[in-house]
Amino acid sequence: MEKSLRVAYGEALARLGDSNPGIVALDADVANSTMSRLFQEAHPDRFYNVGVAEANMAAMAAGFASVGVIPFVNAFGVFLGTIGLLAARTYGSYSELGIKLVGAYAGLSDAFDGPTHHAIEDIAAFRALANFEVIVASDAAQMDWIVGYAASNARPMYIRLSREPMKAKYAPGSLFEPHKGRVLRRGNDVALIACGMMTDNALEAADKLSCDGIEACVVDMLFIKPIDEALILACAREAGAIVTCEEHSVVGGLGSAVAETLAAKGDVFAPQEFVGMQDTHAESGSYAQLQQKYGLDAQSIAAAAIRAIERKNRKKERT
C-alpha cells in the first residue's frame, strides 16, 4: 500500500497533539500542501499560520522552544533550507533550541513547479549545521515513528518529506533505533545505501540485478546525521562495493556522508558510485520523467551497481 508522507506526517502530528499539549505547529501559508492543516483542524489553538515568512517562522519556533514548547515548523524544503537557514543556524544550531523543521515537497517531488521549488541542497545545508539531526523518511510507518521521536528529543532537527506516495516497507507501529539505518534486503555483491523515495528505487534496482545473478544489499539510511557509521563499514566489508542513492545533489548529501565515513573510518577498499543530482538543477516535468532524465530511477541505480562491482573486481585482479 502506498501513502503520501505528508499525509502520514499530518496524521501523526495531529494524533500526537491529542496526548501532548506541549506541541505547536507553525506553517508558512502552505498548510494544505504540508498537511499541517490536519493538526490545525484538531488543535486550532496551537496552530500558527505566519504567512510567507519562513525566516520569521523559524525564529518564532525558537521562542516557543526556549520556554519548553515543542514547535514543528512546516514549509517546502527548498525554503526552509534557504530562507529559513539563518534562523535555523542562530537559534537551532548555535543556541541549541529544539526546533523541528519539516521540509515538505523535497527533492524533485514538486515536479512541475521546477527548479525554484526543487529541494536538492537542503540535506547538505542542514548537515553542515552543528547540533542538527537530519532525518529522511521512506514510508508512512517510519514517518509516524519519526514524529514521536522528534517530539521526545530536545535537539534541533530537519525532517525531510517527499510529496509523492511511497511504498510501505514497514508494518504499522514499527520501532526504529535513533541514528541507525535499516537493512531492507541482504546481498553480498554490492550495497545500495538509499534514503527517502530512493529506497523504493533501490529495492526495484535490486530486483533487476537479482535477475542477472547479482545480489544487492539495500539499506534505508533514514538518519543522515548522525549517520550509522557501523552499518556503512559493515557494508564495505561484506559487499566490497557501494552505491549511494539520493534525491539530492551528490555534493554534501548522503553520498558525501558515506564517503566521509569510508575515508575516515574504513579499513577496506570499497569503490563508491554516487546516484543523485550531478551538480545541476532540474527542469520542470513529471516526477517519473525527471527521475529518469537525471539518473535517479531503478535502471540508473542498477547500472551504477554494475560499475561499482566492476571497479571492485579490477582492484581484486591487481592485488
| Residue 319: all three cell numbers together | 592485488
d(CA 20, CA 72): 13
Bridge partners of residue 157, in order along the sequence: 100, 133
Cβ(5)–Cβ(137) under 8 Å?
yes
- Note whether 132 and 92 are within 8 A (CB): yes
- For residue 1, give the 3-state DSSP assignment: coil
Cα 21 versus chain centre, distance? 27
What are the residues facing 274 on neighbouring strands? 244
Largest Cα span, the chain: 67
Q: How far is CA 53 from CA 5, 24, 75, 79, in A?
A: 24, 17, 10, 10
Task: Please say if 54 is a catalytic residue.
Answer: yes
Please give the sequence-ordered ranges of beta strands (E in DSSP) within the chain, or none if there are none: 2-4, 23-27, 47-49, 70-76, 100-104, 133-136, 157-160, 165-167, 182-185, 190-194, 216-220, 223-225, 242-249, 272-277
Q: What is the rounded CA–CA span in Å between residue 21 and residue 26?
A: 15
Q: Which residues contact 162 (CB under 8 A, 6 or more apart)?
A: 5, 105, 106, 107, 109, 196, 197, 247
Catalytic one of 2, 41, 54, 164: 54
Active site residues: 54
